[in-house]
Chain A
Amino acid sequence: MSGVRDGRPNPPRGFAGRNHCNPFPEKEGGRGTEEAGGTRARQVPEWVWVALLLGFSLFSIGPLLMPGYHWGAQDARHSVYFLHQFDRAIQDGVLYPRWAPDFTFGYGYPFFNIYGPLSSYVGEALHLLGLSLVDAVKGVFALAALASSLAAYLWLRLYSRPPGAVLGALLYLYAPYHIADIYVRASLAETVALAFVPLCLWAFGRLYPANGAAGPGLRGVLLAALSYAGLMLSSNLVALLFSPILGFYFLVRAWHRFDRAQPRRQLSRQSWPTALGHGLHTLVPAASGVALGLCLSAIFWLPAFLEYAHVRTDQWVGGYYEYRTHFVYLFQLLLPNWGFGASLPGPDDGMSFQLGLAPLALAALSLLRWPRLASAWRRTGLFLSLVTLAVVFLMLPVSEPVWEAFGLVSFAQFPWRLLALTIVCLAFLGTGLFARWPGDARHLAATALWALLIILPVYPYLRSEVQPPAEGPVSLAGLMRFQQSADEMTGSTAWVKEIPRWSPLADQIMAGIEITTKVDYTAAYSTGRLAVHSQEMSTTHERVWFQADDDDQVIIFHTFYYPGWNAYILDENTGAVTARAPVVPAGELGRISVPVPKGRHVLLLAFEDTPVRRVGTGLTVLTLGLSAAASLLPAIFRRRGR
């Protein structure tokens, strides 16, 4: 796949499949292994290191195993009610939900059209297995935490022997911001995304083995694509922040490979065009991975990007959301404090923005080991050091002109969210002390002790502020109370001129009346010339029988207008579609209104895909199919060939 002539014979496929990403080809008793007294230390199998890692990772999810839930955490309620809405749609048979039916006091909102769905799918799977919504959310947090440590281990194994990879993975998992994402912010999407960040680095990094061996081929590209798609589907914000870093990262890896094959010192003016072509060719695997990843996740990001203008964003800027009041002060990056409060204007925030005592100290101490580390490590380390410095700068108040000039707020919302980038950088840099430790039995105990040392500074932070839900048990009524008390989950579409503070639907819900229709009967019967009767309703459709005395009648629904809501006139008896009716926003609330024809008919209002969504969905399905075929067909042909 690489097509790179590296001056040495490519290893056999089987060997390449296992060891092409191993930066220590002389391991297992070779030059790279420390030897004591002339005897070789026994190497510990890889699975033991993974088990050690998982064992120490369990501390991070310990508080989640407690009964109860940290309802007071910043987005704790959001996480549960997002899943509640997702579950409603799934229960109605919508395989890819886009519409949250009970947002904003029952008017609905295209929340899942702009919010990464992966965490919701995982949570829904756990819920369908029998867990309650709350336990399913906790399950997702736990799985994401464990997955992130495993992903970090995979990535760091590209640069270190098992002990270094284990300790680096723990540095990543136990970075204070990572812990805060679970127990202080309860940000489900970002926690899931943090598992894909190192996974992407691993998948793209292994496309360019540091030792010059052949890359993993098509399967490696597909793996990279899947990892990138996973990131895109987890959190659009993390994906936006991390994508440039990923791009530069595989450029660094590719450059290292290119430089091995064609050292720049040997380049001449005549060889530059060839070198340029060679360089571009080197980038093909990574670029393919990105492109395929975008195609695989197009079902989400294409509509999210192109239809973003259809929702109001002014609710989320200004006031508390004014990014200028959320810069991080330098002392906050260093001070090892903790808190369960919120980010506030000024230096007295209720939550911690520290880089982490262990990651920062170990990254600093690793400076002393740099000269003895492999060139691949040093190159990546230099790159990630520069990233760390740049990100730290962007979090400080002095960077405000840069935010203004480049519109960074649309990427990051708050400057301190850039901490998500520093944790992966510092985790890598901290492995410098351990990267060359051999994976033998003698270092197993040392690794375990170091794992405890890494966990020690954050151990006091591993607690969940369990409390009863202020809004009562998880229910529609609880959702209405949450929306009213916190002014959260009250997003509105672009046609809403006056954001509602309550609704007739909410009245019904609070009175314990099941919502069986969203038709505004009051408006319908106001003219005296229209009779309506709702026949059935789900989260994405409603069938309404009506009798109109003239062509001037309109049926209004307690649902926000949004592209994708289509209305069909059906024959009363056969149910066949006889015509399409226009759907227009009405009034200050921008609700759906459908002008209906004279006579007795049935109106079907349904939320369907727009052309943009169909293209995105088609692209994803097509890419999935082609990828599956591309990965399975060669194996099938090989079997037939034998």
Chain B
Amino acid sequence: MRASSIPSWRAPAALLIVCSILLAPLLYTGYFQPHSGFLPVYTLYAWEAAGFSPLNPAAHSPSGRVGGDGLLPYVLAELLRMLGADGGTAVKAVFALALLPAAGGTYRLVRRRCARADSLSALALAVLWAASPMMLSAVYVRGSLGGALALGLLPWLAAATESPETPTGRGRWPTGLGPALLIALAHPGFALLAAVALVVTTLLQRRRPALLPVAMVAAVGLLGLLLGAGTAPAPFLQFSRPYQWFTESVGYAVHNQPWGPGTPAPLTLGFLPLGLFAITWLFSTGPGRTQLRVGTLIVVALLLLGSIEAARPLWQAALSRALEGPWQLVALAGFLLLYTAAPDVPPLLRGRGSPAAAVVLLALALAVPALGAPLTRVEPAARPLATFADGQILLVGAELEGPLRHGATPRLRLHWQATVTPARDYTVFVHVVDGTETKWGQRDSWPADGQRPTTSWRPGEVVTDEHPVYIAVEGPREGYRLLVGLYDLETGERLPLADGRTALELLP
């Protein structure tokens, strides 16, 4: 018997309102500080300035790569740019577009896989996936534009790889091949991996997968990889430890040492997906169910094995060129658990006490730590002011307070961002020079007066650094220039900028 139907607009409206909570940090007027920092915005502007050539936007990243992102996220962002949005807003909107299809796709997947699923239970699972630590960390912790979009499209791909027997062939293109094409364009490497995992899971569950979408993913994904989505290895690899699969602590550190500094970025399967998988195994029986779940567990185990330190050689050899990091394997594993449990969950959520609504509230409550993303008032411009050390350190903004005049002490505020945690502590120098390159003011210090040495910078974090510089009264009245740079105190060597210079001239 088909579950009772609700007028069609109510469920999407309810889903949209609930998911709006998940979008809150993206609505901040400034920007947020994921590991990717402002790189997606800079890449977008650079791609735009280059006339969208080459077709692979990642080639325009100041750091040389933006984590294997495909074409789709930047096309979407560019469409929003054409509507008048600035780069930061356009990129944030694409992140939002990752979360919303995640919910919508899961809703559709559940209603399709479970005839007894009513709107509320399908909505509960949709919120569960959208609010899962995997989805939210892809956006707010990793800042993986393509990766988040691909995760959001994953439920759609999962639905597309279901049984190829559809009532009519007309629905096959948009509902089957459309998601396959989109996910492959979003993140080719992850799409390939996801397609393979879904097919293997389906086969282990003794079901027949739809091969056309898989073929589409394979073709487009390989093409994307060849076009250079994975031209450079991931800048850092955070391997998982088994305890992390079962904990939901949210942090931004890129190591996986439980003893710090900082809480590691999440590498969890998710409390609710794991819990629901376990509960359905215990309480939902039927022919072939055990086989189904064992099949999933095998694939999940393989994925998790690929995410631990022992798999480093595999990553160094190949995986890091296609994927951003082990977190994508863990995220995929978490989704597979939810995907397998999905048909059996709705009947458990129907009953006295609105358990489905309880799942929604619990999912949102568990998502609160992830929504506490650090925010910054510094908004990404079209390009960084300077790029140091092959894109490892970016100067993303600068403000001058006070006149550049002899006898004055203007205050220079610099905003730095690292794409990887620097291996050494660098000193910031600020020189005030006149037209003859004579220095009339100087200040050298570690960032933030030593409070934030460069080795403490995490990727994507905006570090604000203030330098009051006294200009000697003996110097000329005005006509000064500001030179800014970084150097290694031990060796005395300055870090080169992208164009080979060793100091950036800041125009007041």
Contact = CB atoms under 8 A, between A and B. Distances in A.
Contact of A371 (B7, B27, B365, B368): B7
A450 B25 contact: no
B18 A453 contact: no
A453 B10 contact: no
B20 interface: yes
A91 to B, nearest CB: 48
B25 A335 contact: yes
Interface string A448-461: 01100110110000
B276 to A, nearest CB: 17
Interface string A112-130: 0000000000000000000
Interface in B41-97: none
B349 interface: no
A179 to B, nearest CB: 15
Contacts of B246: none
B203 interface: no
Interface string B18-40: 10110111111110000000000
A263 B26 CA distance: 48
Contact of B21 (A361, A371, A434, A446): A361
B148 interface: no
Contacts of A335: 21, 24-25, 371
B368 A453 contact: no
B420 interface: no
Interface in B349-365: 352-354, 357-358, 360-362, 364-365
A247 interface: no
A360 B29 contact: no
A433 interface: yes
Q: From DSSP, what is the main secondary structure of chain B's interface residues?
A: helix
Given A357-B361, A457-B364, A365 B120 contact: yes
B17 A360 contact: yes
Interface in A330-359: 330-331, 334-337, 346-348, 357-358
A346 B14 CA distance: 30
A629 interface: no
Contacts of A456: 361-362, 365
B381 to A, nearest CB: 19
A443 interface: yes
Interface residues of B, number: 36
A358 B18 CA distance: 10
Given A334-B20, A371-B6, A361 B28 contact: no
B13 interface: yes
B14 A365 contact: yes
A449 B368 contact: no
Contacts of A370: 10
B24 A334 contact: yes
A457 B361 contact: yes
Nearest to A443: B352
B454 interface: no
A528 to B, nearest CB: 57
Contact of A368 (B6, B28, B353): B6
B361 A334 contact: no
Contact of A446 (B10, B29, B353): B353
B21 A357 contact: yes
B119 interface: yes
B11 interface: yes
Contacts of B14: 364-365, 367-368
Given A331-B28, A336-B371, A450-B358, A367 B20 contact: no
Nearest to A442: B352
Contacts of A371: 6-7
A347 B361 CA distance: 27
A329 interface: yes
A430 to B, nearest CB: 10
Nearest to B28: A331
A368 B358 contact: no
B368 A329 contact: no
Contacts of A361: 17-18, 21, 360-361, 364
B100 interface: no
Nearest to A333: B24
29 contacts: A329-B29, A331-B24, A334-B21, A335-B21, A335-B24, A336-B21, A336-B24, A336-B368, A347-B29, A347-B30, A347-B377, A357-B361, A360-B17, A361-B18, A361-B361, A364-B14, A365-B18, A365-B123, A365-B357, A365-B360, A368-B6, A370-B10, A433-B357, A442-B352, A443-B353, A446-B352, A453-B362, A456-B361, A456-B362
Given A365-B18, A365-B120, 9 more contacts: A329-B27, A334-B21, A336-B364, A336-B371, A365-B360, A367-B14, A454-B361, A456-B362, A457-B364
Interface of A: 329-331, 334-337, 346-348, 357-358, 360-365, 367-368, 370-371, 433-434, 442-443, 446, 449-450, 453-454, 456-457
